[in-house]
Amino acid sequence: MCPPHFPHHLPYLSLSLPCPPLTPPCPRVPPGHPRFFNQLFSGLDHHALAGRFLTETLNTTPYTYEVAPVLLLMEEQVLAKLRELVGWSSGDGIFAPGGSMSNMLAMNVARFQRFPESRSRGNWDLPRLGLFASQESHYSILKGAALLGIGTDNVHLVRTDERGKMIPEELEKEIQRVKAEGSEPLFVCATSGTTVLGSFDPLDAIADVCARHGLWLHVDAAWGGSALLSPQLRHLLAGIHRYVPPPVPLRRCSPSQIPGLLQRCHGMGATYLFQRDKFYDVSLDTGDKSPQCGRRADGLKLWILWKAVGTRGLARRVERAYLLEQVKRREGFQLVMEPEFLNLCFWFIPPSLRGQHSSPEFWDKLGKVAPAIKEKMMRRGSMMVGYQPHGSRVNFFRQIITNPAVTRRDLDFFLDEIQELGRDL
């Protein structure tokens, strides 16, 4: 699957420019492979792929109706559909180049809504703001705080329970504490589907806290939002409709419930692009509500996928998730916690360490196991799965299955392979 090549071996690829003859590089680690479980994306969807080929060939930016009529209308349609899933009958939205950017947009819009003059005056004479997110939240919240001039110190990470879910009482406490210190709480980011553990924050309870304090509730559902498609799984996001605005995840867009807010927050009305005297209804020129100018037309691939597969087809994909039972049955595999979603986190305990939980060096030694197995699997090229330390927990594997091409055999292989590679550690 991935013939191993390490940085010092790769120069054979002739990266210097220009240098005939033309030598196209070969892919090494294809995320389309059924045994690529390394990230929160994988698989190859043929419809979306055709959509992407088409997007590339059309080569344009959906900022105005005149330049990209079809793509712009399509984006609006997709955004409306996503809002429907969230439970809103109206609202707004925009596609962004990544969940990180969606989170940052939301932060900016929240700041603008509370302090509209900050758009022109800046932050410097505002009080210190307070942002809240769970300890398990995505790191883009910190990056966003830094970029927006709010400061990473002003991101208050709220404690989570043993299942990785934000504790609403702790959120309340943090808000009170921050207020007492003289800061102004502004924004709470709840996460639906955390990156490592796949946990879902209790949205209703958190919305109650936000309502009490008048705070903007943003739901980072970049990963877990797709559960909204499934009648079986949507309960995980119960309460998502209650506030504004979640970035719904089926790739990178951030709907917002207050029409016009995005435009007022980001719009600059550049006269060379958003002329008012065009011969069609210029309210269709929605590009100005983005902080970007040029932008990829990301809506097309999702639209084609949705047309081909239907909402029910997409739901089936989300539901077809993990083989938790196998992990529980096999010796040497230990779950980090019972998963809610598609993140299956576990340790592999090699024979040499089994039964030694009480030994003081156990965890230290266990922490070295995952990196060693990862190295072996990559050198062998048989599969890829991610590992990480997390909080006080030593390195564990995070198995994620989003690829509809994965079979049960692949999952059995996955466990067999880990056992084999870790056998004599």
Partner 1 sequence: MQVGVCKQEMLQKKNAVLVDGVILNGPIMDSKVGEKFVEEACKIIMEEVVQKADDVTEKVCEWQAPEKLKQILDLEMRDTGECHQKILQLCRDVIKYSVKTNHPRFFNQLYAGIDYYSLVARFITEALNPSVYTYEVSPVFLLVEEAVIKKMIEFIGWEEGDGIFNPGGSVSNMYAMNLARYKFCPEIKEKGLSGLPRLVLFASEECHYSMKKAASFLGIGTENVYFIQTDERGKMIPEELEKQVQRARKEGSAPFLVCATAGTTVLGAFDPLDKIADICEKHGLWLHVDASWGGSALISRKHRRLLHGIHRADSVAWNPHKMLLAGIQCCALLVKDNSGLLKKCYSAEAAYLFQQDKFYDVSYDTGDKSIQCSRRPDAFKFWLMWKALGTTGLEERVNRALALARYLVEEIKKREGFQLLLEPEYANVCFWYIPPSLRKMEDGPEFWQKLHQVAPVIKERMMKKGSMMLGYQPHRGKVNFFRQVVISPQVSREDMDFLLDEIELLAEDL
Kindly identify the residues of this chain, within the stretch 174-213, that bind partner 1 according to CB under 8 A: 195-196
Bond into 21 cis (ω within 30): yes
Residue of the chain from 90, 358, 392, 407 that contacts partner 1 (CB under 8 A): 407
Do the strands 384-390 and 129-134 form a parallel or antiparallel pair, or are they unpaired?
unpaired
The DSSP code for 23 is -
For position 371 contacting partner 1 by CB under 8 A, the verdict is: yes
Q: In the window 78-137, what residues touch partner 1 (CB under 8 A)?
A: 78, 81, 97-101, 104, 108, 111, 118-129
Q: Which residue number, 145 or 261, has a Cβ lying nearer to partner 1?
A: 145
Q: How many residues bind partner 1 (CB under 8 A)?
A: 148
Angle of helix 140-147 versus helix 99-114 axis, rounded to 10: 50
CB of 405 to partner 1, least distance (A): 4
For position 242 contacting partner 1 by CB under 8 A, the verdict is: no
Q: Which residue number, 111 or 241, has a Cβ lying nearer to partner 1?
A: 111
Q: In the window 139-158, what residues touch partner 1 (CB under 8 A)?
A: 139-140, 142-143, 145-154
Query: What is the residue whose two structure tokens read 């509730």?
Result: 217
Q: Could you please report the per-residue DSSP string of 340-396? A: SSSEEEEEE--GGGTT-TTSTTHHHHHTTHHHHHHHHHHHHTS-EEEEEEETTEEEE
CB of 296 to partner 1, least distance (A): 6
Helices (H), 122-254: 140-147, 168-180, 203-213
Residue of the chain from 207, 228, 237, 384 that contacts partner 1 (CB under 8 A): 384
Encoded tokens for 128: 């210190």
For position 377 contacting partner 1 by CB under 8 A, the verdict is: no
d(CA 55, CA 59): 6
Q: Using an 8 Å Cβ cutoff, are 217 and 156 in contact?
A: no
Bond into 18 cis (ω within 30): yes
For position 351 contacting partner 1 by CB under 8 A, the verdict is: no
For position 389 contacting partner 1 by CB under 8 A, the verdict is: yes
Residue of the chain from 91, 201, 405, 418 that contacts partner 1 (CB under 8 A): 405
Among 210-218, 276-284, 331-339, 358-366, the segment contacting partner 1 (CB under 8 A): 276-284
CB of 388 to partner 1, least distance (A): 4
